[in-house]
Amino acid sequence: MPELNHAVSDVEFKATPDQHCALSDFKGRKLVLYFYPKDNTPGCTTEGQDFATHFAAFEKANTVIFGVSKDSLKSHQNFKAKYDFPFELITDKDETLCKLFDVIREKSMYGKTYLGVDRSTFLIDEKGILRQEWRSVKVKGHVEEVLAAAQALPR
């Protein structure tokens, strides 16, 4: 798991529309990775819309946004198109990023326990150093807090 103020391991991933990238591809820009449980669910939709609303301000702060979940690329493409998200979504079906950032937690629904993604966000600086993390995120007001942190990092 990456530690605050330490470099994040370089990991390759697939993102919408059909990109093959690595975290190192974004050196020179700040990077927000926000992990969410599932496409097209109320909290995840609201969080995505909040990031979309503030997209221009993140761009101005030299910050790239990626949403990350275990959903398929096709599911992500539909979710992104339905809500017109201006940023890309990473498919992490094999949980490479989820495990790297330690966001898989035991959850409970209708009396059954299962392993799922704990809503979490990570801010990586232009040199690939983890500068801030938010875990067990509550959606309301969260994006504004992430934006303020991104704006506060030096260029």
Mean pLDDT of 143-150: 98
Distance, CA of 87 to CA of 122 (rounded, Å): 16
Distance, CA of 128 to CA of 131 (rounded, Å): 9
CA 123 to chain centre: 9
Look-up of token digits 């990092």: 153
pLDDT confidence tier of residue 145, bands split at 50, 70 and 90: very high
pLDDT of amino acid 113: 85
From the list 44, 61, 123, 147, the catalytic residue is 44
98 is catalytic: no
SS3 assignment, position 40: coil
pLDDT, tens only, 98-112: 999 999 988 877 888
More confident residue, 110 or 21: 21
Domains of the chain: 12-152 (3.40.30.10)
Distance, CA of 124 to CA of 130 (rounded, Å): 4
β-strand pairing of 130-134 with 120-124 = antiparallel
pLDDT, tens only, 49-68: 999 999 999 999 999 999 99
- Is 98 within 8 Å of 92 (Cβ atoms)? yes
